[in-house]
Structure formats: C-alpha cells, structure tokens
Amino acid sequence: MDARLDFGQTPTAEHGDVVRMVMAGLQLSAVFAGLSDIRLQEVADKVVQRQVEDGDVLCHQDDTAHTVWLVLDGWVKLTRETLDGSEAVWDVLGQGHIVGLETLTEPYRYTTRAVAAGDGCVFAIPHSILRKMVDSEPRFTKALLQNALRQQQDERLDMEHRTQQTAPQRIGCFLLRLAGTPDGGTIDMQLPFDKGLVAARLGMQPETFSRALAKLRAESGMEMTGSHVRMDVGRMSAYVCGACSGVYPCRGC
Amino acid sequence: MDARLDFGQTPTAEHGDVVRMVMAGLQLSAVFAGLSDIRLQEVADKVVQRQVEDGDVLCHQDDTAHTVWLVLDGWVKLTRETLDGSEAVWDVLGQGHIVGLETLTEPYRYTTRAVAAGDGCVFAIPHSILRKMVDSEPRFTKALLQNALRQQQDERLDMEHRTQQTAPQRIGCFLLRLAGTPDGGTIDMQLPFDKGLVAARLGMQPETFSRALAKLRAESGMEMTGSHVRMDVGRMSAYVCGACSGVYPCRGC
DNA sequence: CGAGGTGTTGAAAGTGCTCAAATGGCGTGG
DNA sequence: CCACGCCATTTGAGCACTTTCAACACCTCG
C-alpha cells in the first residue's frame, strides 16, 4: 500500500522529475508554498506518496502522531467516535488540505480519526521534517500560524452556521461554497461525495438531509438528481445568506 | 479611560517597577511567557494598560485591527450580531487570554465584537510590536502557533459538546471545567458571571438554561443558590461525561 | 433474481425556542 | 422604613425543528 518514492534507485533524470512532482504536490498547500526550493526539496525527500481506498484509516484518534497527510486527490473525513459507537464527522478535507496539523502541539496526538472517503491519494509527511522546518525556518512557522488562524475562522463560521441556519440553509450554504463562484447565474455541478457524508459533514441525519433537500428545492428552485446539482446562485444565496451574510459574508456566499 | 504607562515621567526606580509589573502581566499568557527579558521588555514598552467597565466595547466586528488585548482581570465576551440584532456569544475570555489574535492574518479584521462583561483590566498591545516579534523572534511565532492550535482544539471540543450534549450536560460540563480539579469530592465555587451570560456562552436561551439547571440539580444533586455552586465532582462527571469522555476527556472532566 | 447499499417517506417523540407572565432581589426616592 | 421600579431569573404553554424508528423505493452488483 505504501510506496516509498524510490530516490536513488532510478536514473538521476527521473529522480529529478519525481522530486519536482512531489515539490509541486506540496505546493498545493499554502503552508509549503512559501518555502524556498531548497527547503521544499528537503521536505520532499521525506515524503511518501500513498494511494488510499475508501475506508482506509490514516490515523486513530488519540494516537501519538508521527505523520501528517497532505491530500492530493480524493477526500479524507475527520471523525470522532461517540459513546454509542456512531461517528460524528468533523470535516471532510480535499485537495491541498492537511490532516493532523494539530499534532504539532502539546499532546502530540490526533484529535480525530482520519478515514479516506472514496479512493484517493495523499502525501505522508513525517513529523520530524516538519519540526525541523518549524525550528529552522521562521517563514514556515508563520505559514503554519496563518493556516491555523484561517482554519479557526472557518470553523467558527461553521459553528455559527450550525446554530443560526436551518437545515435547508446549511445545505444551500454548502452548495454555494462548493460552487465557489459568486458571479450569479445558473450553474451545474457534482456533489463531491455521497449525500450521507454531506449530511454528516453538516451535522444532520440522513433523513433530515433528505427532507431538508426537498424543502431547499421548493424554496430555491435548485434541482438535484443523483449527484448532479443545478441551481441559480443568486436565488440560492438570497435564500441562504439571509441567516448570516449580514454578519459575516461567508466565502462563496 | 486609557492610561498610557508613564515611562520616562517617573523616577527610574519606579519606572523599573512598572516595567517589571507589565512584564509579569504579559507572562500571564503562554504566548509571552517564552520571550527573553529583553524582548519582553520591548513589548512591555508598547503596552497600554486600561481599566474597563461593564459594557465597554474593545473592538467591533469587521473593523481593521491595530490592537489586541490581554485580559488581566475580569471577563471579556466575544460576540457576533445576528440578523435580528440580538447577539450570539462566541466565548468569554478571562485572565491570561488574548482578544483578537485572529487579526494577525489576512483580512486583519476582528471576527467578533469584544465587550467587557463586568469591570476589569486589560493590556492593549499594538499590532505593530506583535508583527515585529513575529518577524524577528521565531520562538514567539511558535508560541502563537501553539496557542492557536490549542485554542482550535478547545473550540472543536466546544462544537462537539454543542451537538452531543443535552443542555443540562453542557451546564454540568461548564461547571466541571470551572472547577478544574478532577480530584472528586464535594466542592464549592462561584459562578464567574451572571447566568444569562453563562447561558449565552453555552449557546442556549436564558429560559432553557433555567430549566436545564433544574434538571441538572435533580439528576446530579448539584445545588445552586444565586451564584454559589456546590456539587459532587464525581457524580457530576458521571452524569455529564457519558456524552463525551469516551471520546476525548475534556480538560476538567 | 436476490442482496446490500443508498436515498426517500411516514409517524411519533424529544429538545430547545418563542412569547408571555409571574416571582424575587435590590437600590432609589419619598 | 416603605413603596416603587428595574433587572435577573423562573415558570408556563405552545410551537418549530430535528431526531428516531420503521418501512419502502431504487439501483448496482454478483
């Protein structure tokens, strides 16, 4: 399953190609984008690329961490077990997002379980190289700080939404953020993962999701067949953002 | 209201005392605790101590930031306006906590309003000196990062609680965290601020809080008269932590 | 065709919210 | 000292939304 990049085992030319590819992959995250080539290569040397299949577990909650992961392709869901054995989904991370950065501090333990949602590809990045970078490259630490602060803001927004938006609005907001383009007009797109996971990500039951979807269709004119979505951005945001835009325009709303 | 520390206006001896006092105050936060004396003094030179009264507004949501505040004494609540004009309380910060650190990144704007909850005392710390420290003192950036990550974990826990705990359990958890001591036995303590604010902090209405309190009394044997609380820590945590301790032992649970 | 996963629908129950009113403490002015 | 008014807290009743349990439709895969 793991595939150590075969540095030194292949001709130099190819080696260079691989390194360049890994470096490009790392730069998907703003955290690494600011590093100098030399530093970036230093990280790239320690990176292990890994293909993951649906359900593969990257890490377990409360385990001591030695690795973080950068999502290259596919989705990784962060979950926590509830006492009754069911799982609560914290977040679903896509390309360019990093799993497990919270382990750079004190308890050095993963606060969630990370599971592949569908097949995908990730970089495994050893803790050791990150700590080395933190200790020797202030710019990197700054980037991590910015990353953490930005993430914090996103999570606060999420929290606000959970308390202030109704279920249909939360779904609408999710779709708007997915769309990304605030230019208005009717757009088509695909749900990135199945409805059950979307529901969990939004903190609601599948049944609630289904019903809320029906209501959202009625209220906003959105259409959804299977994983295909068509909606009018303007109309959708009019329906959704009344509950929050006055406060803090979400990205994508 | 503002009281610029009068460096240079007082005899040297007294000046030294003031500086030492400010430095000690700064060290209430782990963010500053790791700085060398020289660096700490550099910050202390720029700090303005300020007495605040109940309702004083430190900053407005969405304003561009030039200052952060370190709470020395009293409580500062972070709020956001909801569309209907009412306010949602994000957090209530006490001694040693810093208001507005999120403004060190990109939008450079406060994401919440900060209002004094009761009389208190804060240090106003200019952005400029913080940025200077971030740029010149890697250890400081690391401390900020650790602070941000830790805070992130706390907020995630909060989020988990809001979705998985019932109202009485949330109150119980709040009390347990307030108590801090996980040694068991019956303890006495005081609510740090009024019930309305506790309710808001926990994301519930005052009426719900009141009712939940009644239930908590019945279920956990806790007593509360006015702001005085008496409870059996063991019994309380047995009632409260069933909803989360299996997952992630909260601090204080 | 049957099995299992995914998504939808129905009915009942739970939880917190809103609106409304009562209670109680506490400081001020008479 | 007492009456008054203000404010925090409590209580009551009804409502809205989400969840839960259950059943069913749909689709894909073997």
Residue A28 has which token pair?
A: 């998907």
Residue B8 has which token pair?
A: 């240079």
With tokens 């105050």, the residue in question is B25
Decide: CB of A55 under 7 A of nucleic strand C: no
The protein residues having a beta carbon less than 7 Å from any atom of strand D are A 166-168, 203-205, 207-208, 211-212; B 194-196, 206-207, 209-211, 213-214, 224
Measure Cα distances from B36 to A91, B103, B107, B167, B243 in Å: 38, 24, 30, 45, 43
- Per-residue model confidence as pLDDT tens for chain B (253 residues): 444 444 444 445 566 678 888 999 999 999 999 999 999 999 999 999 999 999 999 999 989 999 999 999 999 999 988 766 678 899 999 999 999 999 998 889 999 999 999 999 999 999 999 999 999 999 999 999 999 999 998 898 888 888 889 999 999 999 999 988 667 689 999 999 999 999 999 999 999 999 999 999 999 999 999 889 999 998 898 888 876 655 445 654 5
Nucleotides of strand C within 7 Å of the protein's CB atoms: 6-11, 15-20
Contact of B155 with chain A, judged by CB distance below 8 Å, is answered with: yes
| Better-scored residue on pLDDT, A15 or A98 | A98
B82 closest CB neighbour out of A81, A141, A164: A164
> Would you say the C-alpha torsion A242, A244, A249, A252 has a positive or negative sign?
negative
Stretch A92-116: mean pLDDT, rounded? 94
Residue B6 has which token pair?
A: 């009068």
Contact: A242, B159; criterion CB under 8 Å: no
Burial of B211 by CB count in 10 Å (0-12 exposed, 13-18 middle, 19+ buried)? Answer: middle
Q: Phi and psi (nearest 5°) for B195?
A: -60, -35
Contact A102, B94 (CB under 8 A): no
Measure Cα distances from A83 to A88, A110, A148, B165, B247 in Å: 11, 18, 29, 11, 7
- CA angle centred on A164, ends A158 and A166, rounded to 5°: 100
Choose among A62, A77, A73, A71: nearest CA to A124: A71
Structure confidence by residue, pLDDT tens digits, A196-209: 999 999 999 999 99
- Positions of E strands within chain A: 2-3, 48-52, 57-59, 67-81, 87-93, 98-99, 113-126, 186-190, 223-225, 228-232
Give the contacts of B95 (CB within 8 A, at least 6 positions apart): B28, B71, B72, B73
The B residues from 172 to 231 touching A (CB cutoff 8 Å) are 203
B152 closest CB neighbour out of A102, A146, A244: A102
Give the contacts of A67 (CB within 8 A, at least 6 positions apart): A59, A100, A124, A125, A126, A127
| pLDDT at A251 (0 to 100) | 57
Contact: B145, A104; criterion CB under 8 Å: yes
The alpha-carbon gap from A162 to the nearest alpha carbon of chain B, in Å, equals 9
